Amino acid sequence: MRDYTKTIELKTTTGAKITVSQTLTLSKTINADGDKVCVECCDLGPVEAVIDGFPDQSCFINFPEPKQEKMGLIYGCIGKLGLLKDNYDKVVELVEAVKRHPAWIAKQSKIDDNIKANKALDAQRKANGYCEKCGSYCYGDC
């Protein structure tokens, strides 16, 4: 399956172009004891920013509280690139758009199902006398 990449373009306060992208990797080649095998996956990559005239930045961070900088209120950042409200909102929309991909939604659903299955298994074990202290069915004899 082909990877899914979403890209948007922003401007800095000085007018430099910023190309922001995030990729959902849907297949990768792994090394299985020397055999190269292509497997399906669903890995969400970091938010990356290519900025004209500046080093590339990556890793999107939401600030719990906006920070006051000389260019204005910063709501988050990509690496060292501070994001004003307008650009911040566009980056949040980009991340949400990537997370609306059917493969990502299916992965989250599977994770939720596995959590429910693990809780049901734990409850069943406990009801059958499983002791978490010693890790066996000792029925309190440990």
Residues lying near Zn ion in the complex (CB under 5 A) are found at: 131, 133-134, 138, 142
Q: How far is the CB of 134 from Zn ion (least distance, A)?
A: 3
Euclidean distance between CA atoms 36 and 67, whole angstroms: 47
Query: Please, what is the minimum distance in Å from the beta carbon of residue 43 to Zn ion?
Result: 40
Q: Is the CB of 55 or the CB of 129 nearer to Zn ion? A: 129
- How many Cβ atoms sit within 10 Å of the Cβ of residue 50? 16
CB of 132 to Zn ion, least distance (A): 8
CB of 138 to Zn ion, least distance (A): 3
CA dist list (Å): 28 to 2, 23, 38, 104, 108: 10, 13, 6, 16, 19
Angle at 98 between CA 52 and CA 71, to 5 degrees: 40
Torsion angle defined by CA atoms of residues 2, 110, 45 and 94, in that order, rounded to the nearest 10 degrees: 90
Smaller CB separation from Zn ion, 34 or 140: 140
| Residue 65 or 141 with smaller CB distance to Zn ion | 141
Q: Which is nearer to Zn ion, 102 or 140 (CB)?
A: 140
Return d(Cα 47, Cα 20) in angstroms, integer: 7
The DSSP output letter for 46 is P
